[in-house]
């Protein structure tokens, strides 16, 4: 089994209204010193098999086809080799 984490974030320059709302909420809670908040998504995935290269190819396909909107989002795949 291969475990992986996929992190999806908005590309630089894409407006992030949810991040702005979080910034405002933190300020309203009295939490100071927060410069900027950008929201994203995290997916933890377990794949059958032991071939990391094949897993990376499948994970990239998942991102390109479903998990990330590559027009406005970047993604990173982290494979747990431990």
pLDDT of 56-69, one tens digit each? 999 999 999 999 99
- Average per-residue pLDDT for the chain: 95
User: Long-range CB contacts (< 8 A, 24+ apart) of 79-82?
Assistant: 79/2, 79/3, 79/4, 79/52, 79/55, 80/2, 80/3, 80/4, 80/5, 81/52
For domain 2-79, give the CATH number: 3.30.1280.10
pLDDT band at 82 (very low <50, low <70, confident <90, very high): low
Counting residues of the chain whose pLDDT is more than 90, the rounded percentage is 96
Query: CA–CA separation, 19 vs 47, rounded Å?
Result: 31
pLDDT band at 81 (very low <50, low <70, confident <90, very high): confident
0.85 surpassed by pTM: yes
Query: CA–CA separation, 14 vs 27, rounded Å?
Result: 22
């Amino acid at each position: 089994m291969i475990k992986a984490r996929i992190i999806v974030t908005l590309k630089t320059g894409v407006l992030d209204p949810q991040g702005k709302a979080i910034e405002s909420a933190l300020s309203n809670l009295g939490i100071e010193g927060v410069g900027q908040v950008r929201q994203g998504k995290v997916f933890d995935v377990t794949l059958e098999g032991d071939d990391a290269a094949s897993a990376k190819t499948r994970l990239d396909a998942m991102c390109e086809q479903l998990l990330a909107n590559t027009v406005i989002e970047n993604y990173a795949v982290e494979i747990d080799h431990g």
